[in-house]
Amino acid sequence: MPEYTRPATWDDLKQLARYLADEHVDYALIGGYAIAMHGVNRFSEDVDLLVAPTPENTNRWIRALSRLPDGACNELAGEKDIFAGEGPQTIRINDEYTVDVMAAACGHSWDELAVIRLALERAKGS
């Protein structure tokens, strides 16, 4: 395994999204790649994911990220309450490229942000 990770590419992001979809992971893309998808270029070398912090979803994202080339996430297999510690945490997966997984972003929990997302989706549908 190389000593350093390489910058993630758009192809990496698409493959990662397929892995997450295959496992039915509740997640949102955040950070530099999310901003770039909206047309604002911001240099980013890693992929940032906001995930639902439930034990079931944790098992799903661990299985999905374990499919990355170096298998760096395999050591988390069996961890059910990885976000049970105090305060916001980021789980950094240093595989061929880096994926940061978090249950909160900018001081807001998954549940808070999910409510906003649902409201926006409803507003689009009306």
**Tens of pLDDT, residue by residue, the chain (126 residues):** 557 899 999 999 999 999 999 999 999 999 888 888 777 776 778 999 999 999 999 999 999 999 999 999 999 998 878 887 766 688 999 999 999 999 988 888 888 887 877 777 788 776
What pLDDT, on a 0 to 100 scale, did the predictor assign at position 73? 94
- pLDDT at residue 80 in the model: 74
Q: Give kind and range of the element (H or E) at residue 34.
A: helix 32-37
pTM: 0.86
> 42 to each of 17, 99, 117, how far by Cα in Å?
20, 17, 23
